[in-house]
Amino acid sequence: MGAKKSDSDRRIGRRALLIGGAAAAVGTGVLARDELARLYWRLPGVRRQRVEGAVDFRGARWVAASEANFRWADRPDDYGIDMVVVHVTQGDLDSAVKAFEDPGHKAAAHYIVGKDGHVTQMIRELDVAYHAGNRAYNERSVGIEHEGFVDRPQDFTDAMYAASARLAAAVCRRYGIAVDREHIIGHVEVPGTDHTDPGEHWDWDRYLRLVREAQTSTP
């Protein structure tokens, strides 16, 4: 889920390449201070300044995931976002939150939707969450966990479907993501994963219909 050494090496290499290339382009070898600052904040892996505790989805509560479970970034400027990945926690909400707070877990999603419809955000959409088990998919997606178990259809409540659909619609609207099964996928569909969620009881037809309805309503 993201080797820190390779991430660091790639960021340094791209930073040197981009800034060096920009300097050559102006032909002076010296960039204006404001231009350097602008370039710096647009480089992959750079941590954009942000308001502590801010959320991307109105009404969500903020609980910070461990920094070991995601990578600081500046999406969509450094990595384009064109996908939503649907997960199931295989446990209750509290256990999922504790897992994502644990640096030894090495994984976390951006959001968790509870059975009661409440949304918890643990990673900013700016940042790359280690949720999909595939680096490229992590970089291009927002991960939404759902409280419950894949073999318990009763866990997927009306409140959960409605809240998750509003959340997914907001994400899709923000980044221009198409509301279809090519761009809203299950964890099981991520290449290389050994996960099965959200499982056979997740009602995809219902979910996509609710996302489309939420997307066309007033934000």
Q: Which residues pair with 61 in a beta bridge?
A: 120
* pLDDT value for 43: 52
Q: Which residues pair with 113 in a beta bridge?
A: 119, 146
pTM of the model: 0.81
* pLDDT value for 48: 79
pLDDT means per 10 residues in the chain (219 residues)? 35 35 42 44 64 95 98 95 98 98 98 98 98 98 98 98 98 98 98 96 98 85
* pLDDT value for 193: 93
* pLDDT value for 33: 46
Q: Are 187 and 193 within 8 A, CB to CB? A: yes
* pLDDT value for 32: 46
- Rounding to the nearest 10 degrees, give the CA dihedral for residues 60, 99, 110, 179: -100
* pLDDT value for 50: 84
Nearest to 171 by CA among 134, 123, 114: 123
CA–CA separation, 187 and 52 (whole Å): 29
* pLDDT value for 194: 92
195 CB-contact burial (10 Å; exposed 0-12 / middle 13-18 / buried 19+): middle
CA distances in angstroms from 62 to 22, 55, 56, 72, 153, listed in the order given: 38, 6, 10, 17, 27
* pLDDT value for 35: 45
CA distances in angstroms from 117 to 55, 134, 212, listed in the order given: 16, 28, 18
* pLDDT value for 159: 98
* pLDDT value for 38: 43
Helix (H, G, I), strand (E, B) or coil at 132: coil
CA–CA separation, 172 and 44 (whole Å): 22
* pLDDT value for 182: 98
